[in-house]
Amino acid sequence: MALISGASRGIGAAAARIFAAAGYDLLLLARPSAELDGLAAELEPLGRRVEIQALDLTDPAAIAPGVAALCARGLAPTVVVNNAGMAYTGPLAAMSLEQWQRLMQLNLTAVFQLCQVLLPGLRQAGGGHIINVSSHAAHHAFPDWGAYCISKAALAAFSRCLAAEERAHGIRVSTLTLGSVNTPLWESETVHSTFDRRAMLDAERAAEALLYLAQQPATQVVEDLTLMPAAGAF
C-alpha cells in the first residue's frame, strides 16, 4: 500500500500508474481537480484499490484531518511518497513573505506534517518506507532559485534526521534527488524559465526510480538516489 502526495499530475501521477501496475493499492493526495478524479478512474480497472483525498497541502490546518479521513477508509500505507512541491523564480530580496511561507509549507513543512500523522501507524505495523522527492538544487546554489534550493536542502536534512530517529522502529527513509524533470511545474505562474524541456528527465523515469526505492528489501535501504539528465544541470 502506497500513499503518494501531489498525485494528480507530473511525477505523482506517473508514480501512481507505475505503482498500481506493480501491484500496489494506492492512497492518493492532491489538490481538488478533475485530473485526480480521472486518475482514480483510470487505475481502478487494473484491479487495485485506489482511494483519493482532495487536500491542499499549503493549508497546514487541513493536513492532519485530511490524511486521517483518507486512512480511515481501512487502508494503511507501508510506503509513503512525499512528492508534492512547487518552485518560485526570482531573487530572494524581492520575494514576498507570503510566497516564501507558501513554498516552505508545501516543500518542507507539509512533509513534516504528513510524516507526523503517518508515523504512529508505520510504527504499529512494525516498519515502512518514507521516500522524499528532492532536487539537485538541495546541493547547489542557483540564482533566482534561492527559496527552492533552501527548501530542498532543508528537506534533505529532514530526511537524514528522520532516518536516524526512526531506524529503531523499522522505518526506512530515502531521498530521490532529481535533476530537471519535464513536468507541469514549468508551466506554473511562479516559475519563469527558458530551459529546453526536451532535454529534461521525463516523469516516468522519475517514477520508476521511486518504485525501485520502494521495492528494496526490508533488510536494506538506498538512502539517496540521484537521477540527472544526461545533459547535466540546467
Give the tens place of pLDDT for each residue, 87-111: 999 999 999 999 999 999 999 999 9
Q: How far apart are CA 87 and CA 135, in angstroms?
A: 11
Structure confidence at residue 186 (pLDDT)? 62
In a domain, 6, yes or no: yes
pLDDT at 44 over 90: no
In a domain, 152, yes or no: yes
In a domain, 232, yes or no: no
> For this structure, is 148 an active site residue?
yes
Structure confidence at residue 220 (pLDDT)? 97
Cell reading at 29:
493526495
For residue 232, list its beta bridge partners.
none
In a domain, 205, yes or no: yes
pLDDT classification of 234: cutoffs 50, 70, 90:
low
Contacts of 7 (CB under 8 A, 6+ apart): 13, 15, 16, 26, 28, 29, 30, 36, 39, 52, 83
Structure confidence at residue 7 (pLDDT)? 96
State the catalytic residue, choosing from 24, 88, 148, 212: 148
| Segment holding 112, helix H or strand E | helix 110-124
Structure confidence at residue 36 (pLDDT)? 94
Cell reading at 163:
532516518
pLDDT classification of 221: cutoffs 50, 70, 90:
very high
In a domain, 20, yes or no: yes
pLDDT classification of 233: cutoffs 50, 70, 90:
low
User: Whole-model pTM?
Assistant: 0.94
Tally of domains within the chain:
1
Side chain identity, residue 176: L
Query: What CATH number is attached to the domain comprising 177?
Result: 3.40.50.720
In a domain, 147, yes or no: yes
Q: Give the mean model confidence (pLDDT) for residues 173-194.
A: 84
Give the tens place of pLDDT for each residue, 129-174: 999 999 999 999 999 999 999 999 999 999 999 999 999 999 999 9
Give the tens place of pLDDT for each residue, 51-93: 999 999 999 999 999 999 999 998 899 999 999 999 999 999 9
Structure confidence at residue 193 (pLDDT)? 75
| Segment holding 123, helix H or strand E | helix 110-124
In a domain, 107, yes or no: yes
Using alpha carbons only, give the angle 221, 9, 175 rounded to the nearest 5 degrees: 20
Instruction: Give me the domain span that covers residue 80.
Output: 2-227
How many other CB atoms are found less than 10 A from the CB of residue 20?
A: 23
Q: Helix axis angle, 10-21 relative to 34-43, nearest 10°?
A: 10
Contacts 24+ apart (CB under 8 A), 64-73: 64/113, 64/116, 64/117, 66/29, 67/29, 67/114, 67/117, 67/118, 68/117, 70/3, 70/27, 70/29, 71/27, 71/118, 71/121
In a domain, 233, yes or no: no
Q: Comparing C-alpha atoms, which of 154, 58, 163, 150 is closest to residue 113?
A: 58
Structure confidence at residue 150 (pLDDT)? 98
